[in-house]
Structure formats: structure tokens, C-alpha cells
Amino acid sequence: MNNKFLIVDFDSTFVQVETLDELAAIALAEHPESERVIEKIRTITAQGMDGKISLAESLDERLKLLSANKKHIEQLVISLADKVSPSFKRNGVFLEQFADSIYIVSSGFKEYILPIVSKFGIKEDHVFANTFTYDEAGNINGLDASNPLCQDQGKVRVVNSLNLEGSVWAVGDGITDYEIRAAGAADIFYAFTENVERTSVTAKADVVIKNFDEFLYMHDFPRAISYPRNRIKILLLENLHPNGIKMLEHEGYTVETLKGSLSEDELCAKIKDVTILGIRSKTTVTKKVLDAAERLISIGCFCIGTNQVDLDYATQKGVCVFNAPFSNTRSVVEMVIGEIIMLMRKVVSKNAQLHQGKWDKSADNCFELRGKKLGIVGYGNIGSQLSVLAEAMGMQVYYYDVMEKLQLGNARKCDTMDELLSSVDIVTLHVDGRKSNAKIIGEHEFKMMKDNVIFINLSRGHVVDIDAMVKVLDSGKILGAAVDVFPVEPKNNQEEFVSALRGYDNVILSPHIGGSTEEAQLNIGEFVARRLTSYVNGGDSTQSVNLPNIQLPELRKAHRLIHLHRNVPGVLAQINQMLASHQANILGQYLKTNEQVGYVISDIDVEYDKDLINQLKKIDGTIKSRVLY
């Protein structure tokens, strides 16, 4: 900051709020017409900020309405401490280090500004603001009228009086901050929009900055984060859950949302400078799309499946793909339990009869589920969760899985599917969609099941031989069935559902909604948003479907070098050689590879030769390399 001076505004810049509005809310909390008066104060504040009334007028009118005293100021200081703008707060080290070059110039009041900024190392004689006057009882009754800051062009006069020799840069959100530059007292005016964006001000600014990180990044000053979040562009398609969107916006990223999906060409045109893409199942991310994406580092599939993304090519391009593998697990499980009860009590067929006027009050073939044997095929996320709930309801759980799985509660493992099928009263399928699972339930398997079995499939349509199922339904062997997934499903709500399973009174058919609940949508939105932010902000690839999964510790007082490369011999050795030759002290290093790529994370001491970053990018086989702090 040699010969450079920073003039920083306070209200809505250093802190997130307009302080007199805040003071009014405190002072008028008990006032019978507080809302009306506070609203009036806000209107006057806005008029002043937009330059519609003079500053002196705006201050004077607001003070009259305030009815505040010294106690209220103490409360205001406590409340403001939590309202320092996030980008100033996280860059406290910069403020402290360059305090000699930083001035706070505000039309607010020194009584509450000084206690806030002094915590960041700003000196008292670098704080210029108004001061209140009080009556004997300590009530604010006006302001020191001799202070230039209560007059028009006051900030200009104060900055001029400082006689700063060098470049003067003014940072603020209001018209009075622009005036410093307009009068020639500052060389550059940065309109600060982290808290409010006034078009009347940004239109006149030399530079518009979303936050203080952006300012520090532009000048390559020491800063808390390597890359301003607002420069990270996120494109979210297909009407994602608002909570997920909010989480990403809260991180400070620049988020664009679209309701529908985009065609390949539309996406190619839009994705050029996108860092993160969020989609559901209707957007296809092809090789062409990935080639058009020059800055893409991650794709969030806000759903379960990832078939819509060319995963192989995404890996080659170093794009980390996430999904939400178990955010709707509970929804599926609850539906299975509900359907078992409906079928065991024949509610489904009795409902159909009653709608036709047939009263059939009988207990024949109606059962409780307590004590019944539930057979779960596929003991993964859904199967094992179902196991827990079913046991809690008194069922005896049997399961069969092709993999060795942790046996939960009292669940019994079966060595073969036949063993399971012949032992249980209810069969429910929860296998994954791998090709080899096609028709794993066919004629033979239905034959193995007990008479009066209940059969449920909420996994994948192709795992059941539908012709064989129709035969056993016709034979009366099955007491009831529930099917949510089909070998061929309509592409949209307008297309007719065609299936040989239609027309059976004892079969519940549902349109692939096992996981479709509001809760699941919210869980998916939040889960994927969290994975994306952990990866982008910290390099944590846990639960990525295509990159090696590395769970990383939080980054503290270190720089994190992230290096993704083709899995060829010798890259780690080259990275470490490079680290040594640039005097980098390694605090932690993490490495994982899969068949295609290697992922190396090196946490190093903040002092090192910064040329290292460029050199790492040049290592043969490098796909992506970035530095985080």
C-alpha cells in the first residue's frame, strides 16, 4: 500500500446496515408508533443516500425523530459488532496491517463507529465522523453543527484536509462517497455493493466491487481468500429447491437460475465461463458441453442418478461430479412400510370395491405386520434403513445382498436369494440398476416365494420379468403387490402409462414417486449444495461419483495446493520436487488415485515463492491445478 490511501465509508459499507435506522429500531422499540416512525427514518435515509435531499437535511430530520439516548448507543455498538460486512470481517488482517493507510470517513457518528473499527486496528485519529450532543439526562438532542461531515460536501472537505500524498481510493455505497472522487479529492471511486446496490451510485463509479475481497484481489493485496466468491459463476437449471440455491448464494457466488433444462447447443452457448453447473435428470452433459466449458470445475446432479453426465469425459477434464445418493432414502422406506400395511389389510382392493358400492367387511386374509417375515433383496441405503424401521414395528427381517453388508439390529442374512424368497411373507426389492440385475425376479423366483406373498418393487423396472409377474398374479399366488418402477415409463405426464400390470385390484401402481417428497427435494438441494461448496472452497471431494474421494481437514493458516492429473507415473515426485525447490514447507499432504486420475492436495506454509503456482500447472499430465486459502 505504498503511497496509497483508502477512504472507507461506514454505513452499509464497513457494516451491513444504515446505523441511524438501526439506532431508531433500538430507541423506538417501545414506542407505540415505532413502525411508522422507523419507516419514516428509513425513507429519509434512502433519500439522502440517493442524493434526493441534502445530507444536512437528512441528518437533522432523522435525529428529530430518533428519541435516542446514551444507553441506546451502547446497545447499538453491541448490535453492530455482529453486523460488520463479512468481507471486511474476514480481511481483518489486511486492515490491521495497513491501518496507517486506511481512513474511515462517515456521515454517521463517532460514538458508535470508533468502538467497531478500532477492533480492526483502525486508529482513532483516522476516524472522521459526526458527534452527537446531549441534554443533561443523556438524551441525544442534536449534533455538533461545526463538524463538516454534517454538511454537504463534508466528506470532500475532510479528505482534502488530510493532505494525502499519493493515490487516494474511496470505497463506499452512497452518493457522498462518489462526491469525494467527483471533487478530485480521490483518484478512484469504488462503489461497494455487498450490502446495497444503488444504481444512481454504481452508474457513476470508476469500479463496482461486490465486496472487499474483490478490491483486494484486483490489487493483489494480502487477503483472506484466494479468489473472490462473486467471481465464481454458478448456473442452476431445472428449478432446483430454493434452499439449495440460497445456500450457494449465501456463499457469495454469482448464481443464475433457470426453470427448465437446456438443449446441448443452448448449454454450450451458456457454459463457457460457468464454474459450477447444477442440474437434475433432464439436462444432458455431453462431451461437446464439457469441451465448451472453459472454467467448469464441478457439476452437481441434484438427483440420485448421474447417467445424464458423460462421467468418463468429465473425469478426463477434471470436472468433479456430485449427486445425492441417499437424500430420499427415508421417503422410499416410508412408502414401502405404508404399502405393506395397505396390502396386508387389503385396503387397496376393498377401496376399489367400495368405490363401486360393494361393502365387504371381513377379516379374511387380513394381517398385522407384527411378527411377519420381511425379505429385503439389496441391503444398501434403502434396504438397510427399511430393516431398522420394519424391526421397530415388530417384523422379522431377512436380507440378501451380493456384497457383505453390516447386519443391523436382529436382521438375518440369507446366503442365497432362493433361501430368502422361500422364507419370508413379504419380498421387497432394493437392488441397484446394474445391467446384470435385469429380470433377477422371474418365473423361478416367483415359484420360490410362499403362497399369499406380498411382493414390492420400488427399485428399478428392469429387475422384474413382468410377463412372469402377470402369470403369478393371474394364478392368485400373490396376495398383493406394489410397483413404483417399470421397464418402460412415460417420458412426461402427458404420455399414457402402458403396462400389463394395469387392472389388478390387489396391485398398487405408483408413477415412480417412491423418493418424491418435499423433504427429499429439500435434502437433495442442501446435500448437493454442501458438497459443491466443500469442493470448490476447500477441495474436499468426498462422495464425488467420478474423482478419487478425499476428505480434507479444514484449512487453517495454510495455503492449499490442489493438483489433479492424469494417472501416469512420477507426478507426485515432480510435485514434491517443485515444492522443495520453492521453499514450501508441507504441513499436510493427501493423495488418492483412481484408474484415470490422481488427486494430490498439499497444505503448505503461507510463506513460499509464489512462482510455484505457475510451475505446478506446467507439470506434464496436469489436468487442473488451483490454490486455495
Contact letters for ligand NAI, residues 492-531 (x by CB under 6 A): --------------------x-xx----------------
Q: Does 402 bind ligand NAI (CB under 6 A)?
A: yes
Q: Does 12 bind ligand NAI (CB under 6 A)?
A: no
Closest approach of ligand NAI to the CB of residue 431, in Å? 4
Closer residue to ligand NAI (CB): 156 or 376:
376
Query: In the annotation, is 345 catalytic?
Result: no
Sign of the dihedral through C-alpha 32, 133, 123, 180? positive
Are residues 224 and 204 in contact, defined by beta-carbon separation less than 8 angstroms? no
Catalytic residue among 42, 231, 462, 512: 512
Q: Does 406 bind ligand NAI (CB under 6 A)?
A: no
Q: Does 460 bind ligand NAI (CB under 6 A)?
A: yes
Sign of the dihedral through C-alpha 434, 439, 445, 450? positive
Please state, in angstroms and rounded to a whole number, the distance separating the CA atoms of residues 41 and 387: 60
Catalytic residue among 126, 229, 460, 563: 460
Stretch that binds ligand NAI, among 24-32, 190-198, 290-298, 400-408 (CB under 6 A): 400-408
Are residues 247 and 267 in contact, defined by beta-carbon separation less than 8 angstroms? no
Query: In the annotation, is 512 catalytic?
Result: yes
Stretch that binds ligand NAI, among 70-78, 380-388, 543-551, 588-596 (CB under 6 A): 380-388
Beta strands in 280-368 (DSSP E): 298-301, 320-322
Are residues 383 and 399 in contact, defined by beta-carbon separation less than 8 angstroms? yes
CA distances 513 to 394, 458, 495, 509, 516, Å, are 26, 9, 16, 10, 5
- Long-range pairs, 436-439, Cβ under 8 A, ≥24: 437/462, 437/463, 438/462, 438/463, 439/463, 439/464, 439/465
Query: In the annotation, is 339 catalytic?
Result: no
Sign of the dihedral through C-alpha 298, 302, 305, 310? negative
Cell of 395: 417384523
**Which residue in 278, 300, 378, 539 binds ligand NAI (CB under 6 A)?**
378
Closer residue to ligand NAI (CB): 381 or 533:
381
Catalytic residue among 256, 368, 489, 519: 489
Stretch that binds ligand NAI, among 32-40, 88-96, 154-162, 452-460 (CB under 6 A): 452-460
**Which residue in 262, 320, 348, 431 binds ligand NAI (CB under 6 A)?**
431
Q: Which of 277, 342, 225 is nearest to 528 (CA)?
A: 277
Closer residue to ligand NAI (CB): 76 or 340:
340
Q: Does 328 bind ligand NAI (CB under 6 A)?
A: yes
Q: Does 466 bind ligand NAI (CB under 6 A)?
A: no
CA distances 440 to 436, 437, 451, 459, Å, are 8, 5, 19, 12
Residues 6+ apart with CB under 8 A from 263: none
**Which residue in 292, 314, 481, 485 binds ligand NAI (CB under 6 A)?**
485
Q: Does 546 bind ligand NAI (CB under 6 A)?
A: no
Stretch that binds ligand NAI, among 168-176, 218-226, 325-333, 475-483 (CB under 6 A): 325-333
**Which residue in 129, 235, 320, 440 binds ligand NAI (CB under 6 A)?**
440
**Which residue in 45, 275, 327, 459 binds ligand NAI (CB under 6 A)?**
459
Residue with the CB atom nearest ligand NAI in the bound state: 380
Are residues 257 and 240 in contact, defined by beta-carbon separation less than 8 angstroms? yes
Residue 545 region by backbone torsions, left for phi larger than 0, else alpha for psi between -120 and 50, else beta? alpha
Q: Does 241 bind ligand NAI (CB under 6 A)?
A: no
Cell of 147: 463538524
Stretch that binds ligand NAI, among 22-30, 59-67, 321-329, 581-589 (CB under 6 A): 321-329
Closest approach of ligand NAI to the CB of residue 129, in Å? 59
Q: Does 432 bind ligand NAI (CB under 6 A)?
A: yes
Q: Which of 173, 239, 184 is nearest to 211 (CA)?
A: 173
Site residues (CB under 6 A) for ligand NAI, limited to 100-129: none
Say how many C-beta atoms besides its own lie within 10 A of residue 93's C-beta. Answer: 13
Q: Which residues pair with 255 in a beta bridge?
A: 234
Q: Does 400 bind ligand NAI (CB under 6 A)?
A: yes
Stretch that binds ligand NAI, among 27-35, 220-228, 429-437, 602-610 (CB under 6 A): 429-437
Site residues (CB under 6 A) for ligand NAI, limited to 332-351: 332
Residue 558 region by backbone torsions, left for phi larger than 0, else alpha for psi between -120 and 50, else beta? beta
Q: Is 377 exposed, middle or buried (0-12, 13-18, 19+ CB in 10 A)?
A: buried
Closer residue to ligand NAI (CB): 253 or 326:
326
SS3 156: helix
Question: Binding residues for ligand NAI, per CB under 6 A?
Answer: 304, 325-326, 328-329, 332, 377-383, 400-403, 405, 430-433, 437, 440, 458-460, 484-485, 512, 514-515
The residues that are catalytic are 460, 489, 512
